Amino acid sequence: MFTATLIADPKEANLDQATLDALCGAWGGGDARWLNPNVAAEFSVEQVPSNRWEAWEGLQGLGVDLVVQPSEGRRKQMLLADMDSTMIQQECIDELADVAGVGERVKEITARAMNGELDFEGALTERVGLLKGLPEGVIARVIEERITFMPGGHDLIATMKANGAYCALVSGGFTAFTGYVAETLGFDENRANLLLVEEGKLTGVPSQPILGREAKVQALLEISEMLKLDHAQVMAVGDGANDLGMLKLAGAGVALHAKPSVAAECDIRINFGDLSALLYIQGYAVEDFA
């Protein structure tokens, strides 16, 4: 059996009964169940419909996401999450660069790297180089004044942990930020790059080895082995090209508000929902949230 899940942006709450009934009827689905009224609903189907992506495209025009996946095993025991533009709404290095007066140049490099147009390690080295001499205290200022969390993140981590899952934050960004995000949201661990500092200022040189795409894959392998979990029991979420390795390896790889080139390679694409969508696709109803 398979489960089809329809998810709208919680702020819009524009998923209506008629849309749900129309798709369920067309696909010969079982009884539909609301997970959150006008936000998320699901129904079962015996096989993946041949017009799955045509239906997905049509629902995108209504501001609704559609996910079809095997029903068995969809509730995961591990979450591996990217940070920038995934658990938080910003790219930390872009915010630091903005303070340093090189924001536009760094944002351009970041966008190209996340689209897969540039080698991630080279792009990170170039961007960090542009931050040379920035006072270390700017990091705390950026965290306090500029960092905001992606909606649904607290519910996602709290609910998965309450149900026995292990949650790891793995970022191509920096430990100065992942430490704060992981502690605030309740992640079990975090991995990222170090921003090197000498005499109170950023050196402009990244620590080695740089944590990028392969390091995220390695994190999935190491943590799942430590927990004695199969990759099918892992959910990974990210938005950039350096997340594709872990998204493809995980049992459920979620492209969240992802770059088009990244989303095109993933079967689970969340373009309108927030991080609570990752709970709905596991079958959690809003009343189950921790």
Q: Which residues are catalytic?
A: 82, 84
Q: How far is CA 33 from the centre of its chain?
A: 25
Q: How far apart are CA 7 and CA 64, in angstroms?
A: 6
Q: Are 128 and 102 in contact (CB under 8 A)?
A: no
Q: How far apart are CA 275 and CA 226, in angstroms?
A: 26
DSSP string, 239-279: -SGGGHHHHHHSSEEEEES--HHHHTT-SEEESSS-TTHHH
Question: 198: helix, coil or strand?
Answer: strand
Q: How far apart are CA 39 and CA 242, in angstroms?
A: 30
Q: How far apart are CA 50 and CA 145, in angstroms?
A: 48
